[in-house]
Structure 1
Amino acid sequence: MSLEICLSFVVTFILSLILVPTVGKVSKQLGIIAHTNKRTIHKGVIARTGGYGIYMSFLIGTMIFLKTDTQINAMLIGGFIMFLTGFYDDIHDLSPKLKLLGQIIAALVVIIYGDIVLKGFSLPFLPDSVSYIFAIMITILWIVGISNAINLIDGLDGLCAGISIIVLVTISLTSLTYGRSDISSLSLLLAGAIGGFLVFNFHPASIFLGDCGALFIGFMIAVISLLGFGYKSSSFFTLGAPIVVLMVPIMDTFIAIIRRKVHHKSFSEADRNHLHHKLMFSLELGQTKSVLILYAVTVLFSLCSYLYLFDKVGATILFIALMLLFELFVEATNMIDRKYKPFLTILNIFIKSEYLPSIKDTKPYQKIIQKAKKDML
C-alpha cells in the first residue's frame, strides 16, 4: 500500500475529527436532533447530522488526492443527491416515496452519466440490449438496496460506522491485490472520514449519522463495489464479493422484509427486532458488546471474501459455517417469528432435546399424519 493512499486515510480522518463536533454544535443550535421512536434507544439531546461532517471531509479529501474523471464525477454528483435526500429527511422527515425517488435519481446519475453498471451480465438466448436493460435494473436495485441496508443497521452507537469501515478497508485491500489503487484510495478516503466520526459516535455517542450520513455511505459502498472490487470480468465477482462482505446489513434487511411481511406490517415501520436489538435485548449484552460482536462477524465475512482470492475451498467452508450459525441465531432469537425454526427442528431429530422444537409439532408433519389417517379409513 503506497504512502499516498495511507495519507489519504489520515487526512480525511483528521478533517472529520475537526468537522464532526463543530457540525454537532451547530445542529443542536438549529434543533436538528434525533427524535425517539419504537426503534431508537438513545436518551438526551443528540445531533443527527454527523453525516455532514463525513461528507465534507470526504469531499475535501477527493479534491486533494483523487484525479477526477467521468466516473468519479458521476459518483460525487450521485452522492450529493443521496446526501441531500437524507439531509432533508433529517430535518423535515420525507415520505418513503419521495425518499425512494431521491435514491433512484442518484442511482440513475451514476448509470447514465458515469456508465457504472453491473459488469459481465448477460442472459442466454436474448439480445445484448435486453441484457443491458436487466443490468441497469439490477444496478438500481443494488444501489438503493445497499443504501437502505446500511441505513437500517444504524441502530446502535458506532454500529453502522464501524461496519462500514471494515467493509471499505476490505474493498481497499482486495482492490490493491488486483492493482486497482484508484478504488483502494477512494475506499480509504471514505473510511478515514467515517473513522473520525466514529470517535464521537462510539458508545456513548455524542452525535449520530442521520440519514444524510447512512444513505451517503451506503450509496458510496454500493457504487464503489460496482467498479468491481478490482475484479476484471464476471457479474458474479462484481457483486458476489461485496454481497459476502456486506452480509450483516444485507441479511438484517432481508429478514426485516420477511418479518414485516409475515406480520402484515409496512416495511417503513420501525421495530426492535433487528440483529443488534436481539443481541442487546434478547441476549442482554448491552450496546458495546453487541456492536463488537457484529464487528467481529463482519470481519469474518470480509475474511471469506478476501480469502476466496487465495483459497476458494477454505473460504467456502468458512462462509457456509457462518451462514449456519447465522440461521441458528435467527431461529433461536425469533427474529422472523416464534414458529419459524426449521433448522432447529431438523437438528432436534438427532439431538432429541426437550428444549428444541419437535418435528411432530410442525404443521407439515401434522398434515401428513392427518392425510395418512384419512387414507386408512
Structure 2
Amino acid sequence: MLDYRIIIVPFLLSVCLTPLIKKYSYYAKAYAKENKRTVHHGIISRIGGVAIFLSFLISVTMFLNADRAIIGILLGGSLMFFTGLIDDLIDIKPMTKLAFELLSALILVYFGVRIDTIHVFNFVIDNDIICLLVTIFWVAGITNAINLIDGLDGLAGGMSVIILVVIASVSLMERRLDIAYITLILASATGGFLVFNAHPASIFMGDCGSLFLGFMISAISLLGFKGSTIITLALPLILLALPIIDTLSAILRRTLKGMKFSQADKSHIHHLLMKQFGHRNTVIIMCAITALFGLSAYAYLINTRIGVTVMVIILFGVELFIEKSAMISEKFHPILSLAAKFKRKSAES
C-alpha cells in the first residue's frame, strides 16, 4: 500500500524551504539577470532548485532504504545539483557543465544504473561499449532537454511533475515501488516549489534545479529500464517528446545559422507560443501536450493501436507548428511542401 507521507512531507518541506531560499538569495545576490532573452523584470532569485533538492534529499532519507542503485542516483544527482548551483552563482562555461554531466552519467554506470541491452525491433544490441555510450548520451541529452525548456514561469517544473507522476503511476502498475517512491518524492518536492514558481514567479529554479531534475528523470528511467518490461526508454521518450524536439530543433537551427549550440536564442517552442498565446497560456498548453503524451502512453498499455495513433496525431501537430513558425528555418517545411504539391496536382487534374 502506498504511504501517502511520501507525497505530503516533501511538498510541505518544499513550501517551507522555498521562501527561506528566496530570502537568502537577496543576501547572496543570486538574482536572475535580465537580458534580451529573459521575460521577467525585477529582482528574482534563481536558486530555487535548492529547495527542491533539500526537500527531496530529506524525504528520501526518511522514507527510502537506499540500495546501491539509489546511492548512485543520489550521488550523480548531487553532483549535477552543485554544478548547476555554481553556475547560478558565478557562471561556468558550457563545456565545463557538459563535463560534469558526463561524470554524473559515469557515476550512474559505476553503481549499475545503465542500459544493458538495446531492443530495436527484432534486433538486440548488448555490446558493452555501445550500451555505455547510449547511457551517457541519454543522461546528457535528457538533462539538457529539461535545462533548455526552463524559460517560462512554472514550465520546467510543471512538465517535470507531469512526467514524474506518469512514470510513478506506471511503476505502481508494474509493482516497482522503489521507482514509484523516489519518483513521487521528487514530484512532490517540485510541486511545493511550483507554488512560488507559477506565473508570475517570485523565484526561479535556476540551473541547480533544472539540471538536477533533468538528471533525475534520466536516471530514474534507466533504473526502470533494467528490471521492467514496460518502463523502458520508450516511456520517457514519449513523455519528454516536447523538450527533446525543442532541443533537436535548437541544434539544427543554430547549426544552419552558423551559431554555437551553447549560444542562446529566442526561437524555442515556448518563446514562439508566447508571442501568440501569452505567458500563462503557453505554460498551460505545453503542460497539456505533455499530459496528452502521458495519456497516450497509458492508452498504449491498454491498446497498442490506439496508443500509437494518438502519439502520431500529437507529433503531427507539433511538426506542423514547427514548420509554420519557422522554428528551425524558413526553408524547413517538408509536410507543408508535400501538401502544397498534392493540392496543385489535384487542381491540375
Given the two structures, how large is their TM-score scaled by the length of structure 2? Answer: 0.94
**Are the structure 2 counterparts of residues 136 and 292 from structure 1 closer, same or farther at C-alpha, using a change threshold of 3 Å?**
same
Paired residues for 1:74-113 under 5 Å: 74-112=72-110
> Which residue of structure 2 lines up, in the alignment, with residue 25 of structure 1?
23
Q: Report the counterpart of residue 159 of structure 2 in structure 1.
A: 163
CA distance in 1 between partners of 2:218 and 2:123 (Å)? 29
Report the alpha carbon displacement of residue 271 of structure 1 after superposing the two structures with TM.
0.6
1:294 match? 286
State the partner residue of 1:121: 118
Identify the match of residue 141 of structure 1 among 124, 134, 137.
137
SS, match of residue 269 in structure 1: coil
1:196 aligns with 2:192: yes
In structure 2, C-alpha distance between the alignment counterparts of 1:72 and 1:350, rounded to whole Å: 54
- Structure 1 residues 125 and 280, CA gap change in structure 2 (3 angstroms): closer
For residue 149 of structure 1, report the CA deviation from its aligned partner.
Answer: 0.4
Pair member with larger Rg? 1
**Aligned partner letter, 2:49:** G
Aligned to 1:370: none
**Is 1:264 aligned to residue 258 of structure 2?**
yes
Q: Tell me if structure 2 keeps the 8 A contact 1:183–1:229.
A: no
Residue 125 of structure 1 and its aligned partner are, at CA, apart by 11
Residues 1:310 and 2:302 are matched in the alignment: yes
**In the alignment, residue 263 of structure 1 is paired with which amino acid?**
K
Task: Say whether the 8 Å CA contact 2:18–2:51 is kept in structure 1.
Answer: yes
Task: Quote how far apart the aligned CAs of 1:250 are.
Answer: 0.6
Please tell me whether the aligned partners of residues 168 and 181 of structure 2 are also in contact (alpha carbons under 8 angstroms): yes
1: CA distance, partners of 2:123 / 2:303: 34
Q: 1:279 to 1:127 in 2, by over 3 A?
A: closer
Give the 3-state SS of the residue equivalent to 2:112 in structure 1: coil
Q: What letter matches 1:165 in structure 2?
A: V
Match of 1:334 in 2: 326
Deviation per CA, 1:261-288: give whole Å up to 9, x if none: 111101111111001000001x2x1110
Alpha-carbon distance, 1:304 to partner = 1.6
C-alpha displacement at 1:290, in angstroms? 0.4
Cα deviations across residues 218-277 of structure 1 (Å, max 9, x unaligned)?
00000000112686259xx62111100110111100110010011110111111100100
TM superposition shift of 1:29: 1.5
User: Given that residues 47 and 88 in structure 2 are in contact (C-alpha distance below 8 angstroms), is that contact kept between their aligned partners in structure 1?
Assistant: yes
* Change beyond 3 A, Cα 1:343–1:127: closer
Does the 8 Å CA contact 1:176/1:230 hold for their aligned counterparts? no
Cα distance, 1:230–1:108 mapped onto 2, change above 3 Å: closer
Q: CA deviation at 1:348?
A: 2.0
Which consecutive residues of structure 2, in runs of 5 or more, have no partner in the other structure? 345-349
Structure 1 pair 29/137, CA: closer, same or farther in 2 (3 Å)? same
Could you tell me which runs of 5 or more consecutive residues in structure 1 were left unpaired when the two chains were aligned.
353-377
**CA gap 1:60/1:26 in 2 versus in 1, 3 angstroms:** same
CA 204–127 in structure 1, closer or farther in 2 if over 3 Å, else same:
closer
Q: Give, in whole Å, the separation in 1 of the partners of 2:36 and 2:217.
A: 28
2:336 maps to which of 323, 341, 344: 344
> Could you tell me how far apart the structure 1 residues matched to 2:61 and 2:124 are?
43
Instruction: State whether structure 2 residue 72 is matched by structure 1 residue 57.
Output: no
The 2-side partners of 1:148 and 1:29 are apart by 29
Structure 1 residue 350 displacement after superposition: 4.0
Q: Is the 8 A contact 2:6 2:185 kept in 1?
A: yes
Checking the alignment, whether the CA contact within 8 Å between 2:117 and 2:124 is kept in structure 1 is: no
**Residues in 2 aligned to 1:119 and 1:173: alpha-carbon distance in whole angstroms:** 24
Matched with 1:250 is 244
- What SS does the corresponding residue of 1:300 show, helix, strand or coil? helix
Per the alignment, residue 42 of structure 1 pairs with 40
**Partner-residue secondary structure (3-state), 1:227:** helix
Identity of aligned residues (%): 44
Name the counterpart of 1:321: 313
Per the TM alignment, residue 141 of structure 1 is displaced from its structure 2 partner at its CA by: 0.7
Provide Cα deviations, 1:86-114, integer angstroms capped at 9, x if missing partner: 000001110111111111111111111x2
Contact residue 69 and residue 223 of structure 2 kept, 8 A: no
1:162/1:198 contact within 8 Å kept: yes
Over the residues paired in the alignment, what is the CA RMSD in angstroms? 2.0
The Cα shift of 1:176 comes to 0.7
Q: Deviations over 1:30-61 (max 9, x none)?
A: 10110123321110000000000000000010
Q: Secondary structure at the match of 1:34?
A: coil
CA deviation vs aligned residue, 1:157-212 (integer Å, no higher than 9, x gap): 00000000000000000111111011011100000000000010000000001000
- Pick closer, same or farther for the CA change 1:230–1:314 going to 2, 3 Å: farther
Q: Distance in 2 between matches of 1:126 and 1:308?
A: 22
User: Matches of 1:233 and 1:295 in 2, distance apart?
Assistant: 27
Task: Indicate conservation of the 8 Å contact 2:164/2:183, yes or no.
Answer: yes
CA contact (8 A) 1:50 1:207 kept: yes
Change (3 A) 1:127 1:304: closer
- Compute the displacement of 1:325 (Å): 0.6
The whole-number CA distance in structure 2 between the counterparts of 1:28 and 1:307 is 47
SS of the counterpart of 1:80?
helix
Paired with 2:125 and 2:321, the residues of 1 have a C-alpha distance of: 44
Structure 1 length as normaliser, TM-score? 0.88
